């Protein structure tokens, strides 16, 4: 059910004694089979608000592999909203069946509107939104990636009382909504470290708009060339991690973050005795799509 089970478990990731630190992973990927991880958190209060205001339709934006699109489609189906996905790239029109994320969303009943990459850049302007209203009628608008005030309120529920024992909270960063919620629910004595999945951006500014405390930092060396870019080293890290700890990691977000955390541990970034909590923000639905891309390039695949 939506809006139930909201405390995910912290799984210990056993490191060799010499590492000198303890590492746990908060399994937010386990919250819901399709509305996974932080996308559940970000949608929760938006859906409650949409219901309260009597909306029947949700409209949102995303790319063809977007976890957010999959989550909105699944959540809409579950609680009885019509869903519309405005998708970047008009070359995808009629090719949903070739794409795991879009076929899933379609099965959930999502209706698509494909727009060119150029038009996609103007997606938030009033005239464009008005044209969407003319086309689809009244809808509750959820921004791309799902970040708004209500999304951050949802992400403020990720940490609980038991998590105050950690010195560091580490998470992947896309739009910065999730880390903002984590900062707001962390203790001032905790450090929140964000690992951007994108190369260069205005993230600092965006996070500062929402964050109520200064106990955070972005660590930008682990984006692997940019959003959704991956290499053999990352794929083998993810595969090794899964075989050692029985935890699947997505290649766009949590895989890069955990790669970064392991690298920092190796470089003694964390003082001896530190307790570190990584947040598994989910995103596992994207593995199939990524594997199709890897296969077409003749590269090794992510184990599923
Ligand atoms: C969307 C997403 C993120 C990024 O979250 P933001 O709130 O946009 O920073 C991180 N991890 C996963 C798995 C995601 O799907």
CATH number of the domain encompassing residue 194: 3.40.50.1100
106 shares a domain with 82: yes
Average pLDDT over residues 127-149: 95
Q: Is the residue at 4 inside a domain?
A: no
CB distance 281 to ligand 1 below 6 Å: yes
What's the rounded Cα separation, in Å, for the pair 40 and 28? 9
**Using a 6 Å cutoff on CB, does residue 69 contact ligand 1?**
no
Which residue has its alpha carbon closest to ligand 1 atom 2?
174
Q: How confident is the model at residue 114 (pLDDT cuts 50, 70, 90)?
A: very high
Centre of ligand 1 from the C-alpha of residue 304, in Å: 21
Confidence class for position 97, pLDDT limits 50, 70, 90: confident
Find out whether the beta carbon of 175 lies less than 6 Å from any atom of ligand 1: yes
- What are 10-31's pLDDT values in tens digits? 999 999 889 999 999 999 999 8
Q: Based on the domain organization, do 56 and 159 belong to the same domain?
A: no
Both 83 and 158 in one domain: the answer is no
**By C-alpha distance, which of 141, 146, 138, 84 is closest to 115?**
84
Residue 32 CA: distances (Å) to CA of 41, 145, 155, 288: 11, 18, 15, 18
**Phi and psi angles of residue 7, each rounded to the nearest 5 degrees, phi first:** -105, 110
Percentage above 70 pLDDT, the chain: 98
Point out the ligand 1 atom lying closest to the alpha carbon of residue 172: 10
**Which atom of ligand 1 is the closest one to the Cα of 175?**
8
**Is the residue at 83 inside a domain?**
yes
> Ligand 1 center to residue 137 CA distance, Å?
29
Q: Give yes or no: residues 252 and 269 share one domain.
A: yes
The CB of 146 under 6 Å from ligand 1? The reply is no
C-beta of 278 in contact with ligand 1 (< 6 A): no
pLDDT over threshold 70, residue 3: no
Let me know if residue 301 belongs to a domain: no
Nearest-10 Cα torsion for 234, 267, 27, 47: -80
Q: What does each C-alpha distance from 222 to 44, 113, 159, 217, 234 come to in angstroms?
A: 29, 33, 24, 14, 10
Together in a domain, 114 and 213: no
pLDDT of residue 4: 59
- How does pLDDT run across 149-184, given as a tens digit for each residue? 999 999 999 999 999 999 999 999 999 999 999 999
145 lines ligand 1 (CB under 6 A): yes
Question: Domain boundary residue among 117, 146, 175?
Answer: 146
In a domain, 276, yes or no: yes
Ligand 1 atom nearest residue 180's Cα: 7
Residue 23 and residue 96 in one domain: no
Q: Residue 1's pLDDT is what?
A: 46
What is the rounded CA–CA span in Å between residue 211 and residue 198? 20
Determine the structural domain holding residue 242 and report its residue range. Answer: 10-33+154-287
Strand order in the sheet with 82-88: 111-115, 82-88, 57-62, 140-142
């Amino acid at each position: 059910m939506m809006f139930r089970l909201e405390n995910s478990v912290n799984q210990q990731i056993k490191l060799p004694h010499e590492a000198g630190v303890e590492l746990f992973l908060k399994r937010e990927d386990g919250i819901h089979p399709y509305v996974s991880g932080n996308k559940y958190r970000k949608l929760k209060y938006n859906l409650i608000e949409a219901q309260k205001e009597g909306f029947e339709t949700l409209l949102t934006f995303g790319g063809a592999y977007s976890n957010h699109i999959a989550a909105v489609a699944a959540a809409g189906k579950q609680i009885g909203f019509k869903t519309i996905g405005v998708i970047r790239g008009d070359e995808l029109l009629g090719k949903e069946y070739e794409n795991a994320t879009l076929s899933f969303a379609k099965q959930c009943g999502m209706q698509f509107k494909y727009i060119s990459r150029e038009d996609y850049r103007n997606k938030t302007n009033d005239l464009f939104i008005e044209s969407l209203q003319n086309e689809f009628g009244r809808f509750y608008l959820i921004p791309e990636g799902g970040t708004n005030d209500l999304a951050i309120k949802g992400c403020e529920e990720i940490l609980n009382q038991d998590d105050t024992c950690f010195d560091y909270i580490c998470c992947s960063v896309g739009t910065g909504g999730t880390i903002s919620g984590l900062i707001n629910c962390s203790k001032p004595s905790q450090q929140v470290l964000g690992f951007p999945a994108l190369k260069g951006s205005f993230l600092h500014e965006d996070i500062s708009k929402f964050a109520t405390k200064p106990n955070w930092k972005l660590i930008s060396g682990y984006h692997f060339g940019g959003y959704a870019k991956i290499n053999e080293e990352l794929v083998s890290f993810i595969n090794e991690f899964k075989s050692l700890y029985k935890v699947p990691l997505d290649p766009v977000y949590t895989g890069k973050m955990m790669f970064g955390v392991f690298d920092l541990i190796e470089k003694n970034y964390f003082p001896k005795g530190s307790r570190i909590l990584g947040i598994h923000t989910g995103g596992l639905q994207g593995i199939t799509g990524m594997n199709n891309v890897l296969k077409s390039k003749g590269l090794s695949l992510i184990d599923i």
